[in-house]
Amino acid sequence: MSYCLGRRKIMAGSCCSTVEKTNTLAKIYNFLASLKVTIFSGICLAVSLTLILAGVNLPILSVAGVDIPIDPAWLAVLGSGFPLLYLAIRKLIFNKGILKISSSLLISIAMIAAISIGELFAAGQVAFIMAIGGVLEEKTIARARRGISNLISLVPELGRLIMSDTEEMVPVENVRVGDILRVLPGETIPIDGKIISGDTSIDQSIITGESLPIDKSVGDNVYCGTMNRFGAIDVKATKVGEDSSLKKLIRLVEEAEDNKAPTQLIVDKWAAWLVPLTLLIATITYLISGDIIRAVTVAIVFCPCALALATPTSIMAAIGQATKHGIIIKSGRALEDMGKVDTVAFDKTGTLTHGNLVVSDVISFDESSLSSNDFLSLVASAESFSEHPLAKAVVAHAKEQNIALQPVDDFKMIPGRGISANLNGKKILCGSEAFLKENNVMVDNSKLSQTQADGKATILVSFDDILIGMIALSDTLREATPDMVHSLNQNQTNAVLLTGDNKQAANYFAQKASISSVFAELLPAQKVEQIKVLQNEGHSVCMVGDGVNDAPALKTANVGVAMGSMGSDIAIEAADIALMGDDIAKIPYLKRLSNATVKMITMNICISIVFNIAAIILSILGVLNPITGALAHNAGSIAVVLNAASLYNRRI
């Protein structure tokens, strides 16, 4: 029988001969462990306590000669107690070694002891408090896996197969290595392959994170899941199915998710000695006093309810404070681990930078005869018919500068190369260095050296077959980035740049951000490998990214942080934390919040231990009985909750 035991939910496996029965028990468990049933149990306990304090005699139900009071606390015992008893038995049967002993076993022993002497309220109360802890734990630690399904949805289902000069749409799983597929503008490439015909520009940000479409021509490689932006191309399949880049990316996310086991409850860590210690003290108390009531009271107050609440309540308060600052924290483990981070790895585009290309330089090579504004007018006019992102950025810049556009005709776009048009009766070319050289325009490479060193994209422009200037475009560094990196360095935390962009752009922005460790031109798997290298060197790594290509790295890192506003849904789902305002300056704040949370958890554990020790002593002395012991038990839990709540409004 195979079970996946989470903090609250149990999923039955399929390798058991009694699967149907197991599924039924699992469904009952999950229903009774739900928030609605836990709330109902609390209401029943409140009614039961009211009746007890009012001195109301409960009606008696006689079953097989045994008188059973009809007490609302029975419903709390059933609703909150059954899941604990069920989980305790399952762990006893299926867990190995010391893991057989758990907090649920200790609570079950206390419940059974209380029920055996007719103290239903006390039995229901300890079960109810543990149920609350379980609900809080589920809310703060459970991880969503929707990102994987979103990734899978990016894989095209059909491909246009070329066979004997005919086209046929076929399922992608039927495509074999060596097959020829035609990909039209606007379509997603269904396989990894090599272009054998046509020129185009490919948006491959899903794989590399690069902000610009990449010009591709015959002999260039293309990847599954990337978007063909402009020209029609024929591609020879080199990797298909599970071997494709996108499928490998999906597997990386799944493997990283599986490798992150859920954090074990602190009460379960201590249960190995709590259970025998409880039984020992309760037995000694009974043997010395001869009073079974005292022994049962010891078992009740020994239950680690306040200890169970110490971690989840502190984490809930911290998550609430983070939410006020525009930060979504999806698990308590991530919050705790953030304080241990000593290395923060950043993606570049959309993370350290805004992710939007803007015109940075308008350069006329002969200012005396053609001013920068006149040159910009020529280029923007020619590019006004183009759908390329660079062209749109140039036109937008011209409009911001109130530059008038001129009429053009005979516009042509050459995918992966550039555009040509007629303006004032003369031919204008705008595009790459290779495009102008193909049209017999002389290009002086020295004029490009500085912009290339700065990692900028360039549009070269010729007018009447003479090179007249160029326009450089660049992403822009987020204003908060340098101060954020400086703050991390002051807190003995190293910053590392992991990007799919070219080395020139990576080095340029790393220098502006004061980041010394740079790894450029990385595919998703290479980002994962670099993070693993850092982890193997003993570093605790936080990865900050925004794109689909960052998802495996976000999952592999000790803590993953996604840029929430402009980041992809898949990156956000893969991450442990999302910055909804894309305010990267919040990274140092996250570390401070994590440290404060860990201190609060430690303090709450100390409070819970002090309350438990005091209650145990009073129970041994006979000062407390099961009901007053249960109420004292509640006092410890309330103290922990109130102390944790103070974290919500604390200045971090």
Three-class SS state of 299: helix
CB half-sphere exposure, 560, CA atoms < 13 A? 31
In the block, tokens 């776009």 appear at 413
Q: What is the pLDDT of residues 314-354, one digit of tens each?
A: 887 887 788 777 777 777 778 888 888 999 999 888 788 88
CATH superfamily of 358-474: Calcium-transporting ATPase, cytoplasmic domain N (3.40.1110.10)
Whole-angstrom CA distances from 383 to 131, 360, 647 are 64, 17, 55
Q: Is the pLDDT score of 150 beyond 80?
A: no
Cβ atoms 200, 216 nearer than 8 A = yes
Task: List phi, psi (to 5°) of 325.
Answer: -95, 10
Backbone angles phi, psi at 4, to 5 degrees: -105, 105
Question: pLDDT of 271-294, one tens digit each?
Answer: 667 778 888 998 999 899 888 989
The catalytic residue among 347, 475, 546, 583 is 347
Pick left, alpha or beta for residue 174 (phi over 0 → left; psi -120 to 50 → alpha; otherwise beta).
Answer: alpha
Contacts 24+ apart (CB under 8 A), 401-409: 401/373, 401/376, 403/373, 403/376, 403/377, 404/377, 405/377, 405/380, 405/381, 406/377, 406/378, 406/381, 407/381, 408/381, 408/382, 408/384
Which of the two residues, 508 and 267, has the higher pLDDT score? 508
- State the average pLDDT for the chain: 80
Alpha-carbon distance 451 to 292, whole Å? Answer: 85
- 617: its two tokens: 């002593």
What pLDDT band is residue 256 in, cutting at 50, 70 and 90?
very low
Question: What pLDDT is attached to residue 145?
Answer: 43
DSSP for 146-213, written as a single string: HHHHHHHHTS-SEEEEEETTEEEEEEGGG--TT-EEEE-TTPBP-SEEEEEE--EEEE-HHHH--SSP
The CATH 3.40.1110.10 domain(s) of the chain lie at 358-474
Amino acid letter, 201 = S
pLDDT at 596 over 80: yes
Residues of the chain with CATH 2.70.150.10: 156-243
Give residue 424's pLDDT band: very low, low, confident or very high (50, 70, 90). Answer: confident
d(CA 206, CA 155): 11
Q: Say if residue 142's pLDDT is above 50.
A: no
Is residue 140's pLDDT more than 60? no
Per-residue pLDDT for 417 more than 60?
yes
Identify whether the C-beta of residue 169 lies closer than 8 Å to the C-beta of residue 158: yes
pLDDT at residue 278, as a whole number: 85
What b-and-e string marks burial along 316-342, b requiring 16 or more CB atoms within 10 Å of the CB? Answer: bbbbebbeeeebbbbbbbbbbbbbebb
Edge to edge, the sheet with strand 158-163 lists 166-171, 158-163, 180-183, 233-239, 192-197, 221-222
- Token reading at 555: 């999952």
The answer to whether residues 480 and 584 touch, using CB atoms and an 8 Å cutoff, is: yes
Of the pLDDT bands very low, low, confident and very high (cuts 50, 70, 90), residue 598 is confident
Give the DSSP H or E segment for 563: strand 559-563
Q: Which amino acid is at 385?
A: F
Q: What is the pLDDT of residues 463-487, one digit of tens each?
A: 988 999 899 888 888 888 999 999 9
pLDDT of residue 495: 93
Contact indicator for 260, 202 with CB cutoff of 8 Å: no
Write down the pLDDT at residue 379. Answer: 92
Q: Where is average pLDDT lowest: 59-63, 354-358, 421-425, 479-483? A: 59-63
Reply yes or no on whether the pLDDT at 253 is more than 80.
no
C-beta atoms surrounding 440 within 10 Å: 8
Q: Identify the weakest region by mean pLDDT among 133-137, 368-372, 425-429.
A: 133-137
CA within 13 Å, CB half, 305: 35
pTM of the model: 0.60
Mean of pLDDT values over 289-311:
82
- Given a contact cutoff of 8 angstroms between Cβ atoms, the answer to whether 5 and 13 are in contact is no
Active site residue 347: yes
Amino acid 8: pLDDT: 45
Could you give the CA distance from residue 139 to residue 634 in angstroms, rounded to a whole number? 22
pLDDT tens figures, 78-94 = 888 888 888 888 888 88
Q: Which residues contact 481 (CB under 8 A, 6 or more apart)?
A: 352, 353, 512, 513, 584
Query: Are the C-beta atoms of residues 283 and 604 closer than 8 Å to each other?
Result: no
Structural fold of domain 156-243: 2.70.150
Q: What would the pLDDT profile of 522-580 be if each residue is shown by its tens digit?
A: 888 899 999 999 999 999 999 998 766 788 888 889 998 887 655 555 566 667 887 76
For the residues 22-42, what does the mean pLDDT come to?
79
At 19, the pLDDT band (50, 70, 90 cuts) reads very low
